[in-house]
Amino acid sequence: MAQHVQYLRAMLRVLRSHELFAMLSKCTFAEKEVEYLGHIISGEEVAMAIDPAKISIIQSWPQLKTITQLRAFLDLIGYYIMFIHGYGIICQPLF
């Protein structure tokens, strides 16, 4: 924790020296994990933040009938490739 405080003070000094300021309402300190750009980042891993809206879109995707639709769907789920164990095997028939 002491090292964290040292890094934090150094970073805030640099911000102040360049006349930049952090909004306290958007800051959190000494967290074990943080959500950033749709990911949950911790000391151990980067995980996908569960977004019910995105899951709903994937689940309600209409039946694929053309190559263009298949490519669009694969582009959509391709973002999640690192979070889906066995993605290559699961999607192999689609390729």
For the chain, domain boundaries: 61-95
Whole-angstrom distance, CA of residue 76 vs CA of residue 8:
37
Q: Determine the longest span between alpha carbons in the chain, in angstroms.
A: 58
Beta carbons of 57 and 75 less than 8 angstroms apart: no
Across the range 31-36, mean pLDDT stands at 86
Confidence (pTM): 0.48
pLDDT at position 21, please? 85
pLDDT at position 90, please? 86
Whole-angstrom distance, CA of residue 61 vs CA of residue 71:
13
pLDDT band at 44 (very low <50, low <70, confident <90, very high): confident
Give the contacts of 77 (CB within 8 A, at least 6 positions apart): 58, 84, 91
Q: Which of 9-13, 50-54, 82-86 has the highest mean pLDDT?
A: 9-13
